[in-house]
Amino acid sequence: MRNKQTDGISVQQIAELIGAEIIGDASIAIASFASLDTAKPGCIAYLNEKAYARFLADTSASAVILGREYAAQCPVTALVVDDPYVAYARVAQQLHPPAPLVAGIHSSAAVSAGAEISATAQVDALAVIEEGVKVGDECYIGPGCILKHGCRIGGRTRLSGGVMVAGMCVIGERCVLQPGVVIGADGFGYANDKGEWLRIPQTGRVVIGDDVEIGANTCIDRGAVKDTVIGNGVIIDNLVQIGHNCIIGEHTAIAGNAGLSGSSIVGKHCMLAGGVGLAGHLELCDGVTVTGMSMVTSSITKPGVYASGLSAQDGREWRKNHARLRNLDKTIRELKAEIRTMQEKFHKL
């Protein structure tokens, strides 16, 4: 569902919401957010990074959320806070709430008589809801969603268009699943029988906690035997693959194109940047950050920042370094041999 824009709130109300100090006119009405360089009167902007400070002097915003270090430079009403980005998030939620539900089931939806749909839920066009499904209060089931037998959707959860939730999977309360998400497809489980692949039925579920957000076209596989589990407050970006039997701890963030092999365990409050890959059957403790394009091949038992991806560099320099890299083993062997020869000569003296 699209976010609905409010009719506006005053700077005073915004300040009370985020605990800000006001420098300027507290009565100004604010209708929406915009960036510093594109804002018009009636908009509020925020400044969180030094790189954008150059836009502050010429902004046409009616008010700006910023840190104290920029307050004296602000040409319009300033709302001074400790963390402008967090304040921005809170105000944006207030100014752009989700569109209100229209309770009921669309005439083109196919809903089993054995499904339990809350009277306060909205089920949109062409949704398919099978036997034994339970949809909680104030849920939104978008167009073309498929809820297979026995799955459960917690109250106030929103499934955008084209979401598929496989049989017996569980989604908690206040979750958001963006278009194309697939929950509970079969995990990648096969045994090799003398060169031929023997499919292993995947009989576990996916169990998702409360307040989880999952980006477009992300896939979370059902467990082979045990459940795949996503903890409360986890946020997952677009195009992420989470394999069978994975466990993701509470409030962990996973960015786009990350891939978690089967039976990976990720602790609480971890951050996996874009393109990170986890080999299977390993564990990350709480508080681990893995930088973009890194490959994790063994368990991490100490909180901290880990990296293995190579940063981009000048193409000619990369080609020269790569050519030397191919000869690295030979060079090291020759160097070791030369050192041994020098040591032998030294001992003869």
Cα–Cα distance between 37 and 47 in angstroms, integer?
A: 11
At 4 the pLDDT is 54
Strands 21-23 and 77-80: what pairing? antiparallel
Tens of pLDDT, residues 122-178: 999 999 999 999 999 999 999 999 999 999 999 999 999 999 999 999 999 999 999
Q: Is 96 a catalytic residue?
A: no
Please, which pLDDT band fits residue 348 given cuts at 50, 70 and 90? Answer: confident
Using pLDDT thresholds of 50, 70 and 90, give the confidence band for residue 299.
Answer: very high
Active-site residue among 96, 106, 244, 322? 244
For residue 148, what pLDDT is reported? 98
Q: How confident is the model at residue 327 (pLDDT cuts 50, 70, 90)?
A: very high
Could you report the per-residue pLDDT of 242-293, keeping only the tens digit for each? 999 999 999 999 999 999 999 999 999 999 999 999 999 999 999 999 999 9
For β-strands 190-193 and 196-199, DSSP reports them as antiparallel
Q: Is the pLDDT of residue 193 over 70?
A: yes
Q: Judge whether residue 2 has pLDDT over 50.
A: no
**pLDDT score for 312:** 87
Q: What pLDDT, on a 0 to 100 scale, did the predictor assign at position 310?
A: 81
Which pLDDT score is estimated for 210? 98
Backbone angles phi, psi at 320, to 5 degrees: -65, -45
Please check whether residue 287 is in contact with residue 270, taking contact to mean a CB–CB distance below 8 angstroms.
yes
Helix (H) or strand (E) holding 153: strand 152-153
pTM: 0.91
Per-residue exposure over 240-278, b if at least 16 CB sit within 10 Å of its own CB, e if not: bbbbbbbbbbbbbbbbbbbbbbbbbbbbbebbbbbbbbb
Residues 178-190 pLDDT 10s: 999 999 999 999 9
**pLDDT interval class at 8 (50, 70, 90):** confident
CB neighbours of 16 closer than 8 A, spacing ≥ 6?
none
The DSSP output letter for 233 is T
pLDDT at 329 over 50: yes
Across the chain, mean pLDDT equals: 95
